[in-house]
Amino acid sequence: MKVKDQEIVRRFHSDPDKFRLALLCGPNATRCQALVDELVAPMAKTAERVDLSISDLNDNPARLNDEANSASLFGDKRYIVLRLNSGEAIRAAAAIENLLDSESKGDPVFIVAAGMADKTALAKRLAAAPDAVIATCYETTIGEAAAAISGMARAEGLSMSRDIALSIAGLTSNDMVLAKIEIEKITLYLDASPDQPQKVDAGILALLGAENDEEDLGLLYNAALSGEAAKLSAELATVKMIGFSEIGLIRLMLSHLNKLADLRAKADKGARMDTLMRSVFFKDKDNIARQLGIWSASNIARLIERILSLEVALKSSGQPNGVLVEQELLTIVRKAARSR
């Protein structure tokens, strides 16, 4: 069954026993991941989660179906999350087909396949399957983002003009996950609720807006990706004093890495650097150019997989989130420094 991205969570939750597989594809990687997080949320508190990647399926196409039909160690409900980076869906097609052909339904499987087009043979097979659901996540326009932000704000008891919603959309690059974090921040600051609505004005947005946060977090991941160890250490010391959103950092870094991957692919096909830089925001040009000289396409793909795995660890590890993020950034900066 093929549905729109804004419908997939409602469709799945309305009859979860109907579906054995849900797949999110398309160019908007953060939207794909956010929707999978919403899909698994009811199970996450009580069921066992099993994470897989393409490396788990390369030599064993039956692994996905085997995991879906394996009993939990304690007999609990399980669910499987499979993350596929750009281009990996083709390599995973046999494993997914094997799951769909299985006579035993097993535990639900959720697949994040950012970059996969919805016109492929695999996508068409999923759309035709009665026990599978697929949705495509397109890049969000600023108008669509502003409308969604206004809706999120109303649900939290915030009253804001369209201009304010447009400003939040711009500050968060139309990323609904980051926009939701901003709405939650403003809600807490104003002590708003549906029963006690509060108005959001430009002054509050200037005080709490994402622009400074985004710049601060950008300094962190750009220092790491550029191999600048001393700069990264200084920035980590600064943000430790004021705190930062670890999930916000992950979302921004994933967006940056997906942009870097796209540019790396074009460069490998012979595109000139000056041509590539035309699509890059002027503040990011130096960082992007430096990082394209450090990271290969395969290493960027592995980085994306590591950052997605970091998000899972943040939700399941007993360690403080800041420690896990710092460890990953330090690992990245050492790798980048060796490749400079």
Q: What is the CATH number of the domain that holds 230?
A: 1.20.272.10
259 and 172 within one domain: no
Question: Last residue of some domain: 150, 178, 208?
Answer: 208
Tens-place pLDDT, residues 43-56? 888 888 888 888 88
Give, for 172, the enclosing helix (H) or strand (E). none
Question: Last residue of some domain: 90, 109, 136?
Answer: 136
130 and 9 within one domain: yes
Residue positions counted in the chain: 340
0.95 surpassed by pTM? no
Q: What is the CATH number of the domain that holds 104?
A: 3.40.50.300
223 and 155 within one domain: no
322 and 243 within one domain: yes
For residue 19, name the pLDDT band (cuts at 50, 70, 90). very high
Quick one: average pLDDT of 174-203?
86
C-beta neighbour count of 278 within 10 angstroms: 8
Determine the pLDDT at residue 74: 54
Based on the structure, what is the number of domains in the chain? 3
Determine the pLDDT at residue 180: 83
Q: What is the CATH number of the domain that holds 185?
A: 1.10.8
165 and 77 within one domain: no
**Integer Cα distance of 23 and 310 in angstroms:** 21
**Integer Cα distance of 34 and 52 in angstroms:** 17
Tell me what the pLDDT averaged over the chain comes to: 86
Tens-place pLDDT, residues 296-309? 988 998 888 788 77
Check residue 174 and give left, alpha or beta (phi > 0: left; psi -120 to 50: alpha). Answer: left
Tens-place pLDDT, residues 310-335? 877 776 555 567 788 899 999 999 99
Range(s) of the domain holding residue 157: 142-208
In the DSSP assignment, the letter for residue 71 is P
296 and 228 within one domain: yes
Residue 167 has pLDDT above 80, yes or no: yes
For residue 75, name the pLDDT band (cuts at 50, 70, 90). low
Determine the pLDDT at residue 153: 94
Q: How far is CA 193 from CA 4, 9, 177, 187, in A?
A: 30, 24, 20, 7
For residue 72, name the pLDDT band (cuts at 50, 70, 90). low
249 and 330 within one domain: yes
Quick one: average pLDDT of 274-296?
88
275 and 163 within one domain: no
Strand locations in 108-256 (E): 109-114, 132-136, 158-159, 198-199
